[in-house]
Amino acid sequence: MSIAGLDDDLLYEKKGKIAYMTFNRPTEMNSITPKMMDEIDLIGEDFKNDDELLVLILTGTGEQSFSAGADLKLTITKFKEQADQGARFMSDPTRRFFSGIYKPIISAINGFCLAGGTEIIQGTDIRIAAPHAKFGLPEVHWGIIPGGGSHVRLPRQIPYCHAMDILLTGRMISAEEAVQFGLINKVVPADQVMAECEKYAEIICSNGPLAVQAAKEAALLTYNMGWGEAFSTEAIIAERVFKTDDAAEGPLAFAEKRDPVYQGK
Protein backbone atom coordinates (compact mmCIF):
# COMPACT_ATOMS: atom_id res chain seq x y z
CA MET A 1 0.00 0.00 0.00
CA SER A 2 1.55 3.29 -1.11
CA ILE A 3 -0.59 5.74 0.88
CA ALA A 4 0.75 6.53 4.33
CA GLY A 5 -1.71 6.62 7.22
CA LEU A 6 -4.45 4.47 5.72
CA ASP A 7 -5.99 2.28 8.42
CA ASP A 8 -7.85 -1.03 8.24
CA ASP A 9 -11.29 0.57 7.83
CA LEU A 10 -10.54 1.19 4.16
CA LEU A 11 -8.36 -1.25 2.25
CA TYR A 12 -6.48 -0.46 -0.96
CA GLU A 13 -4.68 -3.14 -2.94
CA LYS A 14 -3.02 -3.27 -6.33
CA LYS A 15 -2.89 -6.43 -8.44
CA GLY A 16 -1.23 -5.81 -11.77
CA LYS A 17 -3.29 -3.29 -13.71
CA ILE A 18 -6.29 -3.49 -11.36
CA ALA A 19 -6.66 -1.73 -8.01
CA TYR A 20 -9.20 -2.65 -5.33
CA MET A 21 -10.73 -0.38 -2.71
CA THR A 22 -12.69 -2.20 0.01
CA PHE A 23 -14.88 -0.73 2.74
CA ASN A 24 -13.83 -2.78 5.75
CA ARG A 25 -16.17 -2.14 8.66
CA PRO A 26 -18.49 -5.15 8.30
CA THR A 27 -19.81 -4.94 11.87
CA GLU A 28 -20.92 -1.36 11.06
CA MET A 29 -22.36 -2.23 7.62
CA ASN A 30 -19.19 -0.81 6.08
CA SER A 31 -20.31 2.70 7.00
CA ILE A 32 -17.93 5.54 6.28
CA THR A 33 -16.15 7.60 8.93
CA PRO A 34 -14.92 11.17 8.36
CA LYS A 35 -11.36 9.84 8.10
CA MET A 36 -12.43 7.34 5.47
CA MET A 37 -13.96 10.15 3.38
CA ASP A 38 -10.59 11.85 3.23
CA GLU A 39 -8.95 8.52 2.45
CA ILE A 40 -11.31 7.89 -0.47
CA ASP A 41 -10.01 11.12 -1.99
CA LEU A 42 -6.40 10.02 -1.42
CA ILE A 43 -7.05 6.63 -3.01
CA GLY A 44 -8.71 8.28 -5.99
CA GLU A 45 -5.66 10.49 -6.52
CA ASP A 46 -3.26 7.57 -6.19
CA PHE A 47 -5.25 5.51 -8.70
CA LYS A 48 -5.46 8.46 -11.06
CA ASN A 49 -1.72 9.15 -10.97
CA ASP A 50 -0.37 5.58 -11.00
CA ASP A 51 0.39 4.87 -14.65
CA GLU A 52 0.48 1.11 -14.00
CA LEU A 53 -3.18 1.04 -12.91
CA LEU A 54 -5.96 0.95 -15.50
CA VAL A 55 -9.12 -0.03 -13.55
CA LEU A 56 -10.35 0.41 -9.96
CA ILE A 57 -12.89 -1.98 -8.40
CA LEU A 58 -14.84 -0.94 -5.31
CA THR A 59 -16.48 -3.39 -2.90
CA GLY A 60 -17.26 -4.04 0.75
CA THR A 61 -16.14 -6.70 3.19
CA GLY A 62 -18.63 -9.47 3.92
CA GLU A 63 -21.92 -10.44 2.32
CA GLN A 64 -24.23 -7.95 4.02
CA SER A 65 -23.16 -4.51 2.88
CA PHE A 66 -21.26 -2.64 0.18
CA SER A 67 -21.60 0.53 2.25
CA ALA A 68 -24.52 1.92 4.20
CA GLY A 69 -23.12 5.42 3.78
CA ALA A 70 -21.76 7.77 6.39
CA ASP A 71 -21.59 6.61 10.00
CA LEU A 72 -24.20 9.05 11.31
CA LYS A 73 -22.94 8.82 14.89
CA LEU A 74 -19.56 10.14 13.78
CA THR A 75 -20.37 12.42 10.86
CA ILE A 76 -23.60 14.37 11.26
CA THR A 77 -22.35 16.69 13.99
CA LYS A 78 -19.15 17.26 12.05
CA PHE A 79 -21.02 17.93 8.80
CA LYS A 80 -23.28 20.46 10.51
CA GLU A 81 -20.29 22.23 12.00
CA GLN A 82 -18.59 22.28 8.60
CA ALA A 83 -21.74 23.61 6.94
CA ASP A 84 -22.05 26.37 9.56
CA GLN A 85 -18.46 27.34 8.80
CA GLY A 86 -18.84 27.10 5.01
CA ALA A 87 -16.33 24.27 4.93
CA ARG A 88 -14.95 22.31 2.00
CA PHE A 89 -17.48 19.45 1.94
CA MET A 90 -20.31 21.81 1.06
CA SER A 91 -18.45 24.43 -0.98
CA ASP A 92 -15.71 22.67 -2.95
CA PRO A 93 -17.13 21.57 -6.32
CA THR A 94 -14.26 19.14 -6.86
CA ARG A 95 -15.09 17.08 -3.77
CA ARG A 96 -17.49 14.64 -5.32
CA PHE A 97 -16.67 10.95 -5.24
CA PHE A 98 -14.09 10.14 -7.94
CA SER A 99 -14.83 13.24 -10.02
CA GLY A 100 -12.13 14.17 -12.52
CA ILE A 101 -10.86 10.59 -12.88
CA TYR A 102 -11.00 9.31 -16.46
CA LYS A 103 -9.78 5.78 -15.72
CA PRO A 104 -12.69 3.30 -15.46
CA ILE A 105 -14.09 2.46 -12.02
CA ILE A 106 -16.30 -0.56 -11.35
CA SER A 107 -18.62 -1.20 -8.39
CA ALA A 108 -18.94 -4.75 -7.02
CA ILE A 109 -22.08 -4.27 -4.91
CA ASN A 110 -22.33 -7.13 -2.45
CA GLY A 111 -25.18 -5.92 -0.23
CA PHE A 112 -26.72 -2.75 1.18
CA CYS A 113 -25.68 0.29 -0.87
CA LEU A 114 -27.40 3.20 0.85
CA ALA A 115 -26.91 6.95 1.31
CA GLY A 116 -23.19 7.57 0.71
CA GLY A 117 -22.94 4.09 -0.78
CA THR A 118 -25.41 5.03 -3.51
CA GLU A 119 -23.60 8.35 -3.93
CA ILE A 120 -20.26 6.61 -4.38
CA ILE A 121 -21.46 4.24 -7.12
CA GLN A 122 -22.69 7.26 -9.09
CA GLY A 123 -19.01 8.15 -9.47
CA THR A 124 -18.31 4.75 -11.05
CA ASP A 125 -18.80 3.54 -14.59
CA ILE A 126 -19.92 -0.10 -14.41
CA ARG A 127 -22.05 -1.44 -11.53
CA ILE A 128 -22.67 -5.12 -10.80
CA ALA A 129 -24.85 -6.18 -7.85
CA ALA A 130 -25.83 -9.26 -5.89
CA PRO A 131 -29.55 -10.14 -5.83
CA HIS A 132 -29.92 -9.10 -2.18
CA ALA A 133 -28.38 -5.64 -2.70
CA LYS A 134 -30.51 -2.65 -1.73
CA PHE A 135 -30.12 0.94 -2.87
CA GLY A 136 -31.44 4.29 -1.72
CA LEU A 137 -30.83 7.83 -0.54
CA PRO A 138 -32.69 7.94 2.81
CA GLU A 139 -31.24 11.26 3.93
CA VAL A 140 -34.56 13.11 3.71
CA HIS A 141 -35.87 10.80 6.45
CA TRP A 142 -33.32 12.41 8.78
CA GLY A 143 -33.94 16.00 7.70
CA ILE A 144 -30.83 16.27 5.54
CA ILE A 145 -30.01 15.72 1.88
CA PRO A 146 -27.29 13.69 0.11
CA GLY A 147 -24.60 16.29 -0.49
CA GLY A 148 -22.11 14.10 -2.32
CA GLY A 149 -23.30 14.91 -5.84
CA SER A 150 -26.56 12.97 -6.12
CA HIS A 151 -28.74 15.94 -7.09
CA VAL A 152 -26.38 16.55 -10.01
CA ARG A 153 -25.45 13.04 -11.06
CA LEU A 154 -28.58 11.00 -10.48
CA PRO A 155 -31.01 12.97 -12.75
CA ARG A 156 -28.35 12.85 -15.46
CA GLN A 157 -27.68 9.14 -15.13
CA ILE A 158 -31.23 7.76 -14.92
CA PRO A 159 -34.66 9.07 -16.00
CA TYR A 160 -35.70 12.16 -14.04
CA CYS A 161 -38.83 10.60 -12.54
CA HIS A 162 -36.85 7.65 -11.17
CA ALA A 163 -34.19 9.97 -9.79
CA MET A 164 -36.81 12.03 -7.98
CA ASP A 165 -38.47 8.88 -6.67
CA ILE A 166 -35.17 7.95 -5.01
CA LEU A 167 -34.37 11.48 -3.81
CA LEU A 168 -37.80 12.51 -2.53
CA THR A 169 -39.12 9.34 -0.93
CA GLY A 170 -35.87 8.11 0.58
CA ARG A 171 -37.13 4.56 0.07
CA MET A 172 -34.95 1.53 -0.56
CA ILE A 173 -35.11 -0.10 -3.97
CA SER A 174 -34.17 -3.66 -4.82
CA ALA A 175 -31.37 -4.74 -7.12
CA GLU A 176 -33.87 -5.67 -9.83
CA GLU A 177 -35.55 -2.28 -9.54
CA ALA A 178 -32.13 -0.63 -9.74
CA VAL A 179 -31.55 -2.43 -13.04
CA GLN A 180 -34.94 -1.28 -14.33
CA PHE A 181 -34.15 2.30 -13.31
CA GLY A 182 -30.78 2.12 -15.05
CA LEU A 183 -28.85 2.72 -11.83
CA ILE A 184 -26.82 -0.49 -12.19
CA ASN A 185 -25.82 -2.70 -15.12
CA LYS A 186 -26.87 -6.15 -13.99
CA VAL A 187 -27.55 -8.55 -11.14
CA VAL A 188 -25.55 -11.76 -10.83
CA PRO A 189 -25.41 -14.44 -8.10
CA ALA A 190 -23.73 -13.12 -4.98
CA ASP A 191 -20.72 -15.41 -5.27
CA GLN A 192 -20.11 -14.21 -8.83
CA VAL A 193 -20.20 -10.44 -8.33
CA MET A 194 -16.45 -9.92 -8.02
CA ALA A 195 -15.66 -12.37 -10.81
CA GLU A 196 -18.07 -10.53 -13.11
CA CYS A 197 -16.46 -7.19 -12.24
CA GLU A 198 -13.00 -8.62 -12.86
CA LYS A 199 -14.19 -9.95 -16.21
CA TYR A 200 -15.16 -6.41 -17.21
CA ALA A 201 -11.85 -5.12 -15.84
CA GLU A 202 -9.81 -7.61 -17.84
CA ILE A 203 -11.64 -6.70 -21.04
CA ILE A 204 -11.00 -3.02 -20.39
CA CYS A 205 -7.33 -3.69 -19.59
CA SER A 206 -6.92 -5.45 -22.95
CA ASN A 207 -7.95 -2.29 -24.79
CA GLY A 208 -5.80 0.71 -25.58
CA PRO A 209 -5.44 2.51 -22.23
CA LEU A 210 -5.25 5.99 -23.72
CA ALA A 211 -8.31 5.28 -25.86
CA VAL A 212 -10.28 3.95 -22.87
CA GLN A 213 -9.50 7.00 -20.75
CA ALA A 214 -10.23 9.34 -23.63
CA ALA A 215 -13.60 7.65 -24.17
CA LYS A 216 -14.59 8.29 -20.55
CA GLU A 217 -13.22 11.83 -20.69
CA ALA A 218 -15.20 12.61 -23.84
CA ALA A 219 -18.41 11.15 -22.41
CA LEU A 220 -18.12 13.15 -19.17
CA LEU A 221 -16.96 16.44 -20.64
CA THR A 222 -19.59 16.59 -23.39
CA TYR A 223 -22.55 15.40 -21.31
CA ASN A 224 -24.21 18.79 -20.80
CA MET A 225 -22.79 20.63 -23.79
CA GLY A 226 -24.79 21.72 -26.78
CA TRP A 227 -24.32 19.51 -29.82
CA GLY A 228 -21.90 21.84 -31.62
CA GLU A 229 -19.60 22.29 -28.63
CA ALA A 230 -19.87 18.61 -27.76
CA PHE A 231 -18.89 17.42 -31.24
CA SER A 232 -15.98 19.88 -31.29
CA THR A 233 -14.76 18.69 -27.91
CA GLU A 234 -15.05 15.06 -28.97
CA ALA A 235 -13.07 15.83 -32.13
CA ILE A 236 -10.26 17.45 -30.12
CA ILE A 237 -10.01 14.42 -27.84
CA ALA A 238 -10.18 12.00 -30.79
CA GLU A 239 -7.43 13.88 -32.62
CA ARG A 240 -5.24 13.65 -29.52
CA VAL A 241 -5.75 9.86 -29.43
CA PHE A 242 -5.08 9.40 -33.16
CA LYS A 243 -1.66 11.02 -32.70
CA THR A 244 -0.51 8.33 -30.26
CA ASP A 245 1.67 5.28 -30.92
CA ASP A 246 -1.15 3.10 -29.59
CA ALA A 247 -3.42 4.35 -32.37
CA ALA A 248 -0.92 3.01 -34.90
CA GLU A 249 -0.40 -0.28 -33.06
CA GLY A 250 -4.09 -1.22 -32.84
CA PRO A 251 -4.89 -1.23 -36.59
CA LEU A 252 -1.48 -2.81 -37.36
CA ALA A 253 -2.18 -5.67 -34.95
CA PHE A 254 -5.61 -6.14 -36.55
CA ALA A 255 -4.06 -6.32 -40.02
CA GLU A 256 -1.42 -8.78 -38.82
CA LYS A 257 -4.01 -10.93 -37.00
CA ARG A 258 -2.34 -10.66 -33.60
CA ASP A 259 -3.10 -9.13 -30.23
CA PRO A 260 -2.03 -5.49 -29.93
CA VAL A 261 0.78 -4.55 -27.58
CA TYR A 262 -0.13 -1.16 -26.20
CA GLN A 263 2.48 1.07 -24.56
CA GLY A 264 0.17 3.78 -23.29
CA LYS A 265 1.82 6.44 -25.40
Residue 2 lies in a domain: no
**Could you tell me if 118 and 168 lie in one domain?**
yes
Regarding beta strands 134-136 and 173-174, do their DSSP bridges make them parallel or antiparallel, or are they unpaired? antiparallel
- The answer to whether 40 and 10 have CB atoms below 8 angstroms apart is yes
**Could you tell me if 246 and 136 lie in one domain?**
no
pLDDT digits (tens, 9 = 90+) for 103-153: 999 999 999 999 999 999 999 999 999 999 999 999 999 898 998 999 999
Give pLDDT, residue 4: 59
Q: Which helix (H) or strand (E) covers residue 72, if one does?
A: helix 72-84
pLDDT digits (tens, 9 = 90+) for 142-173: 898 998 999 999 999 999 999 999 999 999 99
What span, in angstroms and rounded, lies between the C-alpha atoms of 238 and 232? 10
Residue 7 binned pLDDT confidence (cut-offs 50, 70, 90): confident
What span, in angstroms and rounded, lies between the C-alpha atoms of 202 and 17? 9
**Could you tell me if 136 and 237 lie in one domain?**
no
Indicate which CATH number applies to the domain containing 123.
Answer: 3.90.226.10
**Could you tell me if 169 and 234 lie in one domain?**
no
Q: What DSSP state is assigned to residue 9?
A: T
Q: Within 10 Å of residue 77's Cβ, how many Cβ atoms?
A: 10
Domain that holds residue 240: 208-255
**Could you tell me if 114 and 217 lie in one domain?**
no
**Could you tell me if 63 and 141 lie in one domain?**
yes
**Could you tell me if 212 and 199 lie in one domain?**
no
Assess whether pLDDT exceeds 60 at residue 84: no
**Could you tell me if 106 and 236 lie in one domain?**
no
- The answer to whether 19 and 56 have CB atoms below 8 angstroms apart is yes
**Could you tell me if 232 and 133 lie in one domain?**
no
**Could you tell me if 49 and 165 lie in one domain?**
yes
Give pLDDT, residue 2: 55
Residue 265 lies in a domain: no
Q: How many domains are there within the chain?
A: 2
Give pLDDT, residue 89: 52
3-state secondary structure of 141: helix
Assess whether pLDDT exceeds 70 at residue 81: no
**Could you tell me if 27 and 137 lie in one domain?**
yes
Q: Looking at the annotation, which residues are catalytic?
A: 119, 139
The string of DSSP codes covering 250-265 is HHHHHHTTS-------
**Could you tell me if 106 and 88 lie in one domain?**
yes
Assess whether pLDDT exceeds 90 at residue 32: yes
pTM for the full predicted model: 0.91
Indicate which CATH number applies to the domain containing 244.
Answer: 1.10.12.10
Give pLDDT, residue 238: 92
Give pLDDT, residue 154: 96
Q: Which residues contact 66 (CB under 8 A, 6 or more apart)?
A: 23, 30, 58, 59, 60, 107, 108, 109, 110, 111, 112, 113, 117, 121, 133
Residue 71 binned pLDDT confidence (cut-offs 50, 70, 90): confident
